[in-house]
Structure 1
Amino acid sequence: MTDTRLTLAMSESDRTARLLSGSRVLEGFELAPQQASIERIFEVQMNEAAYDISELSLASYLIARGRGEARLTAIPAFLSRSFRHNAIYVRSDSPWKHPSELKGRRFGFPEYQMTAAVWVRGLFRHEWGIANEEMEWLTFRPERIPVETPATLQEGDIFEALAAGRVDAIMTARRPPAHLFPDSAEGGVLRRLIPDVWDVERAYYGRTGIFPIMHLTSVRAETAERHPELPRRLYELMLEVKRDAAAQMLETIKNTTVNPWLWESAERAMGLMSGDSWPYGVAANRAQIETFIAYLQEDGMLQRPLQVNEVFHPSVLDT
């Protein structure tokens, strides 16, 4: 492998497709995409720092930084963001309609340290008035890096566990299978906990300004040391790719998705979010990263407090 051939591991989206296909190039470097599931990418990068550039869990990266892990650095190109109110599910025959009703219940996550789970526990504490110790936490896969948690690891599938009543509610980044939760979200064994959840999420954003970050972009520190210009140039390229994706989404000559009301949704988001529905950069995201760091501390998963300027490569701190 030549010094300028860099391994790249990312899930495909409109923020990454042009990089993975090679239609957008990083001048002076050859990007070599690697095939793996996002869960596998996270595990390999966190434990082996195997990729020069990779998508990475915000939570796991910060936990490792708090322990003094120095094999990775990061740039503020956030490849996954999602409100997670809509990712909380219960059985359709359950009586609960609001998270505050789940106090003392059995609540399942795929993994305790996953970023989405950290956000949801923060919501329980700060939005819905339930402390960590007032819930029974269950998980359904081993932690990708070792962390002490109050959760009990379960065997089996998280969706089937909910359907069978072995857990009262779950949060899952992945949509439940169609035989339990139809495409219309109606008439299945499972349902979303919160009625009118999309309006609830918009109201949350209106109050807080938070569109929760899930994944950032990691760079192997050794690679950044060999090529000190890389982190900034990579950030600028990824910012251009993201802007191109937004412009393509709004172009009405051709709908690039199978959603007939894509443009209505996109225009509504742009109006609510001041014209940038997916912000990159440190400045635009500093407040919510500080909030997330505080949530990790409340969860007991940070060995020391972190400052935002410690999270990213020095060359991108002015973004």
Structure 2
Amino acid sequence: MEKALTVAMSESDRTQKIMSGQETLGDLRLEPQKASVEEIFVKQISEAVYDVAELSLASYLIALGRGEQRLTAIPVFLSRSFRHNAIYVRSDSPWTHPSQLKNRKFGFPEYQMTAAVWVRGFFRHEWGIANDEMSWFTYRDERVPIETPAQRGTGDDIFKALADGEVDAVMTARRPPASYFPDTGEGGVLRRLFPDVWEEERSYYRKTGIFPIMHLVSLKEETVRQHPELPGQLYQLMLNRKNEGIAQMLETIKNQTSAPWIWESVEQSAKLMDSDIWPYGLKANWSQIQLFMSYLQEDGLLQQTLAPEQVFHPSVLHT
């Protein structure tokens, strides 16, 4: 008899077939659960409600460091982003580089969110500003209860807080509304901090070889005990779908997206990234995860470095 497993993920070329209910794994049917990524994260990290779910890398590692035993993971990274492009200031501000923001007020949606951990790491190691040389503000509750040096901002609208001058700059994964930041990226109330942010991100990659991981795929340990073959099978399925998605973006008989120059973008990315533009697997990503754990330790959010077998299910450590 076919058994249904609940699966909660954001929709992308990497997950579309899974989230449309088209996939099975042997006698296991993958049953999509629709929710925003923020809702998925809170439910999974607090209650482990889904058999399979996308999850914040930072929240997962913080929870593991505190003894979380309900979840395991596979090295499938559904979200990656440099986040240089996610730093905003008011359009009339004088700043064009993070090194100019020393002793300024800086806002994040959440202190522990993966992107915020990366950006604070950039401040320390790339831009020369220590954590205690900034005033941090946050605008929503932490999904894993933690102590932070951040002040809670007024309300929950981080864009209004920036526009009104409560903070001098923000980092937010979600693009500001068009009323603040037009589709062209120019002429609004807010602007990106970096004048040529896309070149800034490419320069960071050339220097470090890092395409920052944001989210991984978690599995409920109870489910894996019942279906020990699941982590390996799911990893292979999701690797195949990711590779198919990239191949489809390169197919010129039709444009897979609504971006006119998508082929140029993918080709240039492949040239810069030595063909694998979105790597899955432990071997290609473990050194980056180790670096990220060091950033969590510097933030006081993780007390010890975790080993691969603590982070990922044993059946996928060869990937």
Structure 1 residue matching 2:24: 3-state secondary structure = coil
Judge which range, 177-186 or 307-316, deviates more: 307-316
CA shift for structure 1 position 25: 2.6
Alpha-carbon contact 2:74-2:312 (below 8 Å) kept: yes
Q: Which residue in the other structure is 1:59 paired with? A: 58
Mapped pair 1:46 → 2:11: no
Judge which range, 37-46 or 15-24, deviates more: 15-24
Cα displacement string for residues 190-237 of structure 1 (whole angstroms, at most 9, x for unaligned residues): 000011110010010011110000000000001111111000000000
Normalised to the residue count of structure 2, the TM-score between the two structures is 0.98
In 2, the alpha carbon distance for the partners of 1:149 and 1:128 equals 21
CA shift for structure 1 position 26: 1.9
Alpha-carbon contact 2:108-2:139 (below 8 Å) kept: yes
Give the root-mean-square deviation of aligned CA atoms. Answer: 1.0
| Shift in CA distance, 3/22, structure 1 to aligned 2, threshold 3 Å | closer
Structure 1 residue matching 2:290: 3-state secondary structure = helix
Aligned residue type for 2:243:
R
Cα displacement string for residues 17-76 of structure 1 (whole angstroms, at most 9, x for unaligned residues): 011113333222011111111100000000000000000000000000001101000000
In 1, the alpha carbon distance for the partners of 2:237 and 2:43 equals 25
Alpha-carbon contact 1:163-1:189 (below 8 Å) kept: yes
Pairs aligned (count): 318
Q: Which residue in the other structure is 2:115 paired with? A: 116
% identity of equivalent residues: 67
Q: Which residue in the other structure is 2:245 paired with? A: 245
Cα displacement string for residues 68-95 of structure 1 (whole angstroms, at most 9, x for unaligned residues): 1010000001000001111000000000
Aligned residue type for 2:71:
L
Q: Which residue in the other structure is 1:181 paired with? A: 181
Alpha-carbon contact 1:290-1:308 (below 8 Å) kept: no
Mapped pair 1:75 → 2:74: yes
Structure 2 residue matching 1:282: 3-state secondary structure = coil
Alpha-carbon contact 2:107-2:167 (below 8 Å) kept: yes
Structure 1 alignment gaps of length 5 or more = none
What does 1:1-319 align with in structure 2 at a 5 Å threshold?
4-156=3-155, 157-319=157-319
CA shift for structure 1 position 155: 2.8
Extract structure 1 runs of 4+ deviating beyond 3 A. Answer: none
Structure 1 residue matching 2:263: 3-state secondary structure = helix
Aligned residue type for 1:110:
P
